[in-house]
Every structure is written in C-alpha cells, then in structure tokens.
Amino acid sequence: MPNNRADQNARQRPGRRRKSRKRDRKSSKPRLPYIQRNIACFDILSEEGLCLIERNADIILRDTGMEFRDDPEILELFRHAGADVEGERVRFEPGMCRKIIQASAPRQFTQHARNPDNNVEIGGNNTVLSPVYGPPFVHDIDRGRRYATLKDFEKLNKIHQMIPYLHHCGGIVCEPVDIAVNKRHLDMMLSHIIYGDRALFGALIGAERAEDSVAMVRILFGEDFVDQNTVLYAVSNTNAPLVMDDAMSGSLKVYARNNQAVACTPWMITGAMSPCTEAGTLAQLLAEALASCALTQLIRPGTPCLMGSFATAMSMQSGAPTFGMPEAAKTVLAAGQLARRLGVPFHTVGSLTSSKLADGQSQQEGTMSLIMAVLAGANFINHATGWLEGGLCTGFEKTIIDADLCGKLIGFCEGLDLSENAQALEAIAEVGPGNHFLSSQHTLDNYRHAFYRSTTADANSFEQWQSEGSQDTMLRANRIWKDLLANYEQPPIDPAKLEELQDFVARRKASMPDQAY
C-alpha cells in the first residue's frame, strides 16, 4: 500500500502549493480537489442478493415498464432501439437497458471547473462532496428561519468556496425566492460563477432552463470545449413509481445531447412512492435508473450518466419523510453495489435530517446518512452539508457542522497508513513500558499532520468550556461561518467573460415576463 500522504502530495498541482502551505500551518493537510478513496466499499448484499434485485428490476421493466409523459421524441427513441412502446408506456426486454448502458456509458469522467485545480474525477474510487440542493428557506441562529433570497444564495456560495472539504459549487444552495421562478436559474448560475471556481450544476427543470445553463458555460469555457468536455452536472429525478415527466426528460435531453453529466436519480419516499420494504424499493429504483440511464445513451452514446439513489422511509404515523434511518442506510449500500455492477458512477445524498435545528437529532441522522453514502462508495454526494427540515431549509450553522464531518470522512477515506514511519516500531522500543510518547522524536516528527483537527468540536475541560460561555455546537458554528465570510477571497475571473455572462443573463431576463412557475 502506498504512503498516502506522499502519493497525494505528488498529485497536488504546483499552482495550489502556496495557498495550501498557508492553510497547513493552522490546520492539517493540503486540500485535495476530490476524495481518492483508499478504503473498500461496504457490501451489504451477497452476489445472490444482487442477482435477485437485478432479476426483479428486469421483471418490472418487462411487465410493468415505465411511463415517459408528454415527450413523443423519447418514445420514438425507445421504439427505434427495440423497446415495446404502448401509448406513453415503455417496456423493455430483460437486459436491454443494461446492454445499451454498458455499450457506451463511461465508468469515470472528468468534470471541468473554471479553475482547473478544482476539476473533479467522477467514478472509480473517487468521491465528490457537494453542498445542499433545493431548499426555499434558510436558517441561522441570529435571524431564525426565513424565505431565502439571492443575497443568502451569494453568502452560501462564499461560505462553500471557503470550505476546503467541499469539492463542488453545488446547485440550488437555497432557492432565491425574491427572483421570479422562471429567471432564478440565470442569477444562480451567475452567482456560482462569480463567487466560486469549482465545478457547476446545470438547472434541473425543463429544456429551456437547461439550454440557458449550457449557453452560459459555452461563454465561460468556449463552445468547442463544452461539446467535447463535461462542465455541467445535473440531477434528473424520476417521478416514482415508474414515471418520467417532460420537465425532467426535457433537461435530461439537453444535457445528454451536449455531453454533460446526468445523475439519473429515482427519488423515493418509501412506503408512498415505492414499497415499504427495501428489497422492493431497490428493484424499482434499479428499474427506473436503468431506463433513465439507457435514455441518456440513446440520445448521445458515451455521454456521462450516473445511477442515482435517493430513498428514505416515510413515517407511518404522520406520513412525513424521515432521514438517517436504518432502512435508508441498507438501501444506499445495496444501491451502490448495483451501480458498480452496472458500471456507471454512483450518485447519492449526504447529511439528511428532518430536524429544524443543527442539534443532536440533525447530527445523529446526518452523520448516519453521510457515513453510509461514503461506505456505499458514492462517487458524488449531493447535500453533503447544510440540509435541514427534510430539505426545506439550508442551515448556516448546519453547513459548518456538516463540513466538519466531511473533513473527518475525508480523513477516514485515506485508509490506514502502513509506511515504516507509521509503524513506529523504533518509537515504541525507545519509549518503553510506562513512559509517554509526547516528547518522543516520532511524535515531534509527526504531530503536525497526525490527527484530524475538528473545526466545531470543543474538547476542552468543562471548566474551560464554562468560562468561555458554555457554548453549544451551533454557537461555535455561527462564529465560524461569519469568520469564513469575513475572510472570503473572490477567485479571479476574466472580466470580458464576466461581462458577456452578465449581458446574457440581463438579455434573457428581459426577454420574458416574470412567472411563478
């Protein structure tokens, strides 16, 4: 096994060295643009179990099939490929979707960022951590919970850019509800480009907004570059059970046509949108993902697609979705295995919770959920930070506390260093029984990088903690995000490109009336 640290340093680009060294002094190791896992995935299903789920997914696709609504073009594509199309219902012979996918879908691809140091490799042993996606509300302990605005969106972008453990800009880090629904995607993309320099999400809903996303990255990266390279990442959710509507298929088609990545992610509150048993949910999830991924390859063979999984249990008392529960943990682990067998990267979700605060519940649920996503071998983890209230709210303090967990899991994924230095046999002999290692040469040589340093934990004595105001984690996190904002540095951008992007957004916004849908 290689010495991870040396290996990783070698991979580090020269351009980032100076900044990293500065960060180094106060915290731990140089930042890497994504996780290169040096640990195994956790397999919860046997070969036999996996074959059973795959067989059941094939039965579902053959007997029940999937509906693609309001999109004749897709029906024609499937018919031409040999599927059985009856009205909007599409049925597939066993193995058909898998064969289409495996013929052309890449196992791994690069998503380019506007700062090449932040390019991410999606697939293989790599994991990309991306912040929360979608909430219409934001929460911090100063102002409480409120509708989000574009100003909140910008603040979150700045905070995310300053968090070394996040690898991606993210998408709708909160919904800027002060902007018309049909224009938000333009302001959001512009905000991401201005305040961050990591890889970008494309707009989720509808062909028109997806076209806007592609138009903007063409300005940023150049037309030819975008045609040949992946610079956008987009999620495409099914409407489980077994439906895709034109809002989703519309954007999927745009991204696939343009060689941009689509994470085909059945979205399931199990018990409502899939059976209340994991084995049933997994077969349905695989069936929907197979049909969706196959669609991307029929549109443009070789375009990057991921198998996604978002399955969480419903409270059988209240009907509310629950998070961080054992059923979701088992499902994501099995889904990861199914994706690896299919041979496409695996997308899933991170530190989910139904809590309204960044309290004990939120961290018990979120930690369970994020650890399981990592153990499932996820290549892209959406919502790795900030999610509250079942996805209705982005928490500023939650973002900081979750980011600390991301840092811990990055350290965990490094695996065990077995170098001679790490074995420390000489140190053990030198120190001998009953003495301590504090002043041993080995400790002096290694202490700077020895342990992960938590940003939000208080490990001090009770008395010291009390003398400092008996702060809980939320209070400490509050100070941290304000510090990050205060120290934020805007990444440089070509002023001509920025102007062109601003013009594009202004023109597009002026070209249509405000709409609330």
Among positions 296-335, residues that touch a second copy (CB under 8 A) are: 313-327, 329-330, 334
Residue closer to a second copy by CB (options 296, 354) is 354
Stretch 442-461: interaction string toward a second copy, x if CB under 8 A: xx--xxx-xxxxx-xxxxxx
Which helix (H) or strand (E) segment holds residue 323: the answer is: none
How far is Cα 30 from Cα 4, in angstroms, rounded to an integer?
Answer: 12
Residue closer to a second copy by CB (options 232, 372) is 372
Nearest distance, CB of residue 475 and a second copy, angstroms: 9
Strand-pairing partners, residue 381, are 129, 348
Assess contact for 335 and 282: CB atoms under 8 A: yes
Which helix (H) or strand (E) segment holds residue 283: the answer is: helix 278-299
Residue closer to a second copy by CB (options 383, 442) is 442
For 453-469, b/e burial (b = at least 16 CB within 10 A) is eebbeeeeeeeeeeeee
Q: Which of 248, 393, 484, 501 binds a second copy (CB under 8 A)?
A: 393
Q: For the segment 39-78, give every residue that binds a second copy (CB under 8 A).
A: 39-40, 42-46, 48-49, 52, 56, 59-60, 63-67
Q: Which of 54, 175, 212, 404 binds a second copy (CB under 8 A)?
A: 404
Tell the burial category of 289 from Cβ atoms under 10 Å away from its Cβ (0-12, 13-18, 19+): buried
Q: Which of 428, 494, 507, 512 binds a second copy (CB under 8 A)?
A: 428
Candidates 75-83, 98-106, 205-213, 388-396; binding stretch for a second copy (CB under 8 A): 388-396
Candidates 9-17, 301-309, 427-435, 508-516; binding stretch for a second copy (CB under 8 A): 427-435
246: its two tokens = 């034109």
Candidates 123-131, 162-170, 398-406, 489-497; binding stretch for a second copy (CB under 8 A): 398-406
Assess contact for 353 and 365: CB atoms under 8 A: yes
Instruction: Please give the distance of CA 28 from its chain centroid, rounded to a whole number.
Output: 24
Q: Contact between 375 and a second copy (CB under 8 A)?
A: yes
How far is Cα 16 from Cα 33, in angstroms, rounded to an integer?
Answer: 10
Nearest distance, CB of residue 377 and a second copy, angstroms: 12
Nearest distance, CB of residue 505 and a second copy, angstroms: 32
Q: Contact between 416 and a second copy (CB under 8 A)?
A: yes
Which helix (H) or strand (E) segment holds residue 383: the answer is: none
Residue closer to a second copy by CB (options 210, 248) is 248
507: its two tokens = 């023109």
Taking CA atoms, 248 is separated from 239, 290, 318, 371, in Å, by 9, 16, 29, 29
Q: For the segment 475-494, give every residue that binds a second copy (CB under 8 A).
A: 477
Nearest distance, CB of residue 466 and a second copy, angstroms: 8
Assess contact for 376 and 42: CB atoms under 8 A: yes
Q: Which of 200, 254, 431, 484 binds a second copy (CB under 8 A)?
A: 431
Q: Which of 437, 488, 508, 509 binds a second copy (CB under 8 A)?
A: 437
Residue closer to a second copy by CB (options 371, 505) is 371
Q: Contact between 23 and a second copy (CB under 8 A)?
A: no
Nearest distance, CB of residue 449 and a second copy, angstroms: 9
- Which residues lie closer than 8 Å to 129 by C-beta, 6 or more apart? 34, 35, 165, 166, 167, 168, 350, 381, 384, 385, 406, 410
Residue closer to a second copy by CB (options 276, 506) is 276
Q: Which of 166, 210, 409, 501 binds a second copy (CB under 8 A)?
A: 409
Candidates 93-101, 127-135, 252-260, 468-476; binding stretch for a second copy (CB under 8 A): 468-476
Q: For the segment 101-160, give every residue that binds a second copy (CB under 8 A).
A: 137, 145
Q: Which of 141, 422, 493, 498 binds a second copy (CB under 8 A)?
A: 422
Residue closer to a second copy by CB (options 118, 455) is 455
Nearest distance, CB of residue 488 and a second copy, angstroms: 24
Q: For the segment 278-297, give every residue that binds a second copy (CB under 8 A).
A: 278-280, 283-284
Residue closer to a second copy by CB (options 17, 55) is 55
Q: For the segment 155-214, give every residue that binds a second copy (CB under 8 A).
A: none
What is the three-state SS of 110-145?
Answer: EECCCCHHHCEEEECCEEEECCCCCCCEEEECCCEE
Nearest distance, CB of residue 363 and a second copy, angstroms: 4
Residue closer to a second copy by CB (options 225, 465) is 465
Q: Contact between 239 and a second copy (CB under 8 A)?
A: yes
Strand ranges (E), 43-198: 66-68, 84-86, 89-91, 108-111, 120-123, 126-129, 137-140, 144-147
Q: Contact between 374 and a second copy (CB under 8 A)?
A: no
For 432-451, b/e burial (b = at least 16 CB within 10 A) is eeeeeeeebebeeeeeeeee
Does 492 sit behind a cis peptide bond, omega within 30 degrees of 0 on the bond before it? no
How far is Cα 475 from Cα 171, in angstroms, rounded to an integer?
Answer: 27
Nearest distance, CB of residue 429 and a second copy, angstroms: 5
Q: Which of 107, 411, 493, 508 binds a second copy (CB under 8 A)?
A: 411
361: its two tokens = 């519940």
3-state secondary structure of 347: strand
Nearest distance, CB of residue 508 and a second copy, angstroms: 33
> Roughly what angle, to the nearest 10 degrees, separates helices 396-413 and 150-162?
30
DSSP state of 37: -
